[in-house]
């Protein structure tokens, strides 16, 4: 039996759009006919879990149900002994992945903070996607920059953590993690900050070892759809008015699917 391909959405900073990207990837893959499992290892905040629940409630009211993932939320261990808590988190994650092993893809959404559960999820990734808001505040999670000259001093906390998990993955099963940094909530304005971000990230991609890809533009529709659990791919089925902005958002999603090159998917997404 072929193992599912594991996609992890990770960034130790909150508010970067991980859950929005997660739900759109899930919907894209299920609409292509793939079975998809999803795991929320940020179940305390539970944004992806609520998104999935909202989608189910909307789907239950429809004549033709929406495609959905099989979803599992995970909470951090409450064991007061750190070593035991780490073991419990690892065991719970492995059990969830095993339960979803009949799916072609498993998508794992992680919290905007460091935890043993998040680290364990990163170490399982075949594809790691790190959404990054288009600002130097968010970029600080990847790299330390030297004042206004934007000289790169060293990788930052999250980048170092990813490299640790890459090594763990290689030791465990000789596997590799394909890492993508996705610039998210891009402004339509051609501002100086936007151009500087582009330059720094391209340099950083070569130095740290990730693939840089553009993500979603800043669109109100992504926030509005959360309450119904819908994505831009569902709007026509739900008889919602589709604007040029929505068409552009769908194209951004198609581009994302093609650029991350999931096994067997790139041709279908073309």
Residues 232-256: tens digit of each pLDDT: 999 888 888 888 878 888 888 898 9
Q: Tokens for 240?
A: 């919602």
Distance CA 49, CA 107 (A): 12
φ, ψ for residue 206, nearest 5 deg? -70, -35
Give the tens place of pLDDT for each residue, 196-232: 777 778 878 887 788 988 777 777 777 788 999 999 9
Burial class of residue 147 (count of CB atoms within 10 Å of its CB; 0-12, 13-18, 19+): exposed
Quick one: which of 183, 188, 184 has its CA closest to 244?
Answer: 188
Q: What superfamily does domain 5-140+158-199+210-269 belong to in CATH?
A: P-loop containing nucleotide triphosphate hydrolases (3.40.50.300)
Burial class of residue 144 (count of CB atoms within 10 Å of its CB; 0-12, 13-18, 19+): middle
Distance CA 111, CA 117 (A): 9
Query: What pTM, to 2 d.p., does this model score?
Result: 0.90
Q: What is the mean pLDDT of residues 70-80?
A: 93
Q: What percent of the chain has pLDDT over 70?
A: 89
């Amino acid at each position: 039996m072929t193992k599912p391909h594991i996609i992890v959405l990770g960034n130790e900073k909150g508010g970067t759009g991980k859950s929005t990207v997660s739900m759109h990837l899930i919907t894209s893959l299920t609409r292509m006919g793939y079975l998809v499992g999803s795991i929320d290892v940020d179940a305390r905040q539970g944004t992806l879990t609520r998104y999935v629940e909202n989608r189910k409630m909307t789907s239950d009211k429809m004549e033709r149900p929406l495609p959905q993932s099989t979803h599992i939320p995970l909470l951090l261990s409450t064991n007061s002994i750190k070593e035991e808590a780490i073991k419990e988190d690892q065991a719970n994650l492995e059990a969830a992945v095993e339960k979803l092993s009949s799916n072609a893809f498993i998508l794992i959404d992680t919290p905007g903070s460091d935890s043993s559960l998040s680290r364990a999820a990163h170490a399982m990734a075949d594809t790691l996607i790190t959404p990054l808001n288009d600002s130097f505040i968010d970029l600080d999670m990847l790299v330390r920059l030297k004042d206004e000259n934007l000289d790169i001093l060293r990788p930052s906390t999250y980048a170092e953590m990813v490299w640790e998990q890459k090594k763990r993955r290689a030791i465990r099963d000789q596997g590799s993690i394909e890492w993508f940094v996705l610039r998210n909530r891009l402004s339509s304005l051609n501002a100086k900050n936007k151009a500087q971000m582009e330059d720094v990230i391209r340099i950083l991609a070569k130095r740290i070892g990730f693939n840089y890809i553009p993500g979603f533009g800043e669109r109100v529709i992504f926030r509005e759809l959360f309450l119904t659990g819908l994505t831009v791919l569902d709007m026509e089925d739900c008889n919602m008015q589709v604007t040029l902005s929505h068409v552009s958002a769908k194209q951004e999603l198609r581009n994302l699917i093609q650029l991350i090159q999931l096994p067997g998917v790139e041709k279908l997404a073309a």
